[in-house]
């Protein structure tokens, strides 16, 4: 990792959200403030590297929390699939925020929200989306720099990051700026374009930079060295490199995107095919028992 580390999370309330406690377990509240959770999430980026799994509903979030993950991300893809829709803007802002709120309320660990490109045409729209996510108790978000017709112009993308930062001050919210250069294919050298955008996004207030689609280990190492902040890479999609290897390359944050949701839906499909084909129940081998699942979700 090079140059600048993530800033230290502050403790003062600046926008009215940082002292808000998130409801959990039939209306009871946790003792951790959102500032505490933001500090926890931000602090993970200063360590040797961490995996953050992506939940698509309250139940999956509870299971991932119980396993021991210190923070959870949402997945716009998984949420869309759970609604029977494709990923990529098919779910409107109100619906997505409703699901984010349910996930936040279900767990005590920090939650960062996948907000796609911010659900709006303007920078002000992005700021409103981020502010609403923070009001729900989310303490971080991913924001993409791509729309249906390709990458946003870099100046417009920077304005959108700056609006997000203004809506959720540093220290109370971890802003993960995603650049889709490796997926959208810029006209010029993809590495140089990625680094330029990353630097500008950090200058505009991003705490970390997310680069999906990069696969080659040497390219990942070079990006980690060149980007002035923690690097997030997604595993299980274009890249199947394991987390320890990614950490050795300088990656600080490894997310899964929709991979866990895909794995769950794949099991469902295999189970359905077995039932339809042979009527057997081999798919239940190793499954959590009804009683155990009841106990876990009643705690």
Tell me whether residue 68 is exposed, middle or buried, using C-beta atoms within 10 angstroms of its C-beta: 0 to 12, 13 to 18, 19 or more.
exposed
Check the CA dihedral 170-171-173-177 and report its sign: positive
The number of domains in the chain is 1
Cα–Cα dist 58/65, whole Å = 10
**pLDDT the model gives residue 188:** 83
In a domain, 292, yes or no: no
pLDDT score of 299: 76
Tens-digit pLDDT profile for residues 216-271 = 999 999 999 999 999 999 999 888 999 999 999 999 999 999 999 999 999 999 99
Which domain covers residue 77, as residue numbers? 34-261
Supply 213's token pair: 């689609």
Per-residue confidence at 293, pLDDT binned at 50, 70, 90?
very high
The enclosing domain of 129 has a CATH number of 3.20.20.60
pLDDT tier, 186 (very low <50, low <70, confident <90, very high otherwise):
confident
Q: Residue 273 falls within a domain, yes or no?
A: no
Spatial distance between the Cα atoms of 216 and 202, rounded to a whole number of angstroms: 23
The reported pTM is 0.89
Type and span of the H or E element at 178: strand 174-178
Does residue 168 lie in a domain region?
A: yes
- Beta strand 150-151 pairing with 146-147: antiparallel
Phi then psi dihedrals of residue 192, to 5 deg: -60, -40
Q: Give the percent of the chain with pLDDT over 90.
A: 85
- Is residue 138 assigned to a domain? yes
Instruction: Please state the rounded mean pLDDT for residues 170-178.
Output: 97
Say if CB 256 and CB 54 are below 8 A apart.
yes
Give whole-number Cα distances, 104 to 153, 230, 264, in Å. Answer: 32, 24, 21
Is 50 exceeded by the pLDDT of residue 20?
no
- Please compute the mean of the pLDDT values over residues 153-159 and round it to a whole number: 98
| Residue 25, in any domain of the structure | no
pLDDT at 17 over 80: no
Decide if 183 is inside a domain.
yes
- 3 state DSSP class of 64: helix
Q: For residue 27, give the DSSP letter.
A: T
Cβ(117)–Cβ(87) below 8 Å:
no
β-strand 54-55 against 72-74: which pairing, if any?
parallel
Write out the H or E segment, with its range, that includes residue 296. helix 290-297
Please enumerate in sequence order all residues whose Cβ is within 8 A of that of 95, keeping only pairs 6 or more positions apart, or say none: 83
Please indicate, yes or no, if residue 116 is contained in any of the structural domains. yes
Residue 219 within a domain? yes
């Amino acid at each position: 990792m090079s140059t600048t580390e993530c800033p230290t999370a502050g403790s003062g309330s600046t926008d009215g959200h940082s002292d808000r406690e998130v409801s959990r377990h039939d209306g009871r509240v946790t003792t951790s403030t959102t500032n505490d959770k933001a500090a926890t999430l931000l602090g993970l980026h200063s360590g040797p590297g961490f995996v953050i799994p992506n939940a698509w509903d309250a139940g999956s979030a509870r299971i991932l929390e119980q396993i021991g993950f210190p923070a959870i991300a949402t997945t716009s893809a998984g949420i869309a699939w759970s609604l029977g829709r494709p990923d990529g803007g098919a779910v409107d802002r109100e619906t997505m925020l409703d699901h984010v709120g349910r996930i936040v309320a279900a767990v005590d660990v920090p939650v960062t929200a996948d907000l796609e490109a911010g659900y709006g045409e303007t920078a002000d729209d992005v700021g409103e989306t981020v502010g609403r996510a923070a009001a729900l108790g989310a303490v971080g978000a991913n924001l993409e720099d791509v729309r249906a017709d390709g990458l946003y112009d870099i100046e417009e993308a920077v304005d959108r990051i700056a609006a997000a930062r203004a809506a959720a001050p540093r220290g109370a919210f971890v802003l993960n700026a995603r650049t889709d250069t490796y997926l959208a294919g810029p006209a010029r050298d993809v590495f140089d374009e990625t680094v330029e955008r990353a630097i500008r996004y950090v200058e505009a207030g991003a705490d970390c930079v997310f680069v999906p689609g990069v696969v080659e280990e040497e390219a990942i190492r070079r990006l980690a060295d060149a980007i002035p902040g923690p690097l997030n890479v997604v595993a299980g999609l274009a890249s199947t490199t394991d987390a320890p290897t990614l950490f050795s390359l300088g990656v600080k944050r490894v997310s899964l995107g929709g991979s866990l949701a895909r794995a769950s839906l794949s099991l469902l499909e295999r189970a359905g095919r077995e039932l339809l084909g042979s009527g057997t129940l081999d798919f239940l081998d190793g499954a959590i028992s009804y009683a155990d699942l009841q106990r876990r979700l009643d705690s």
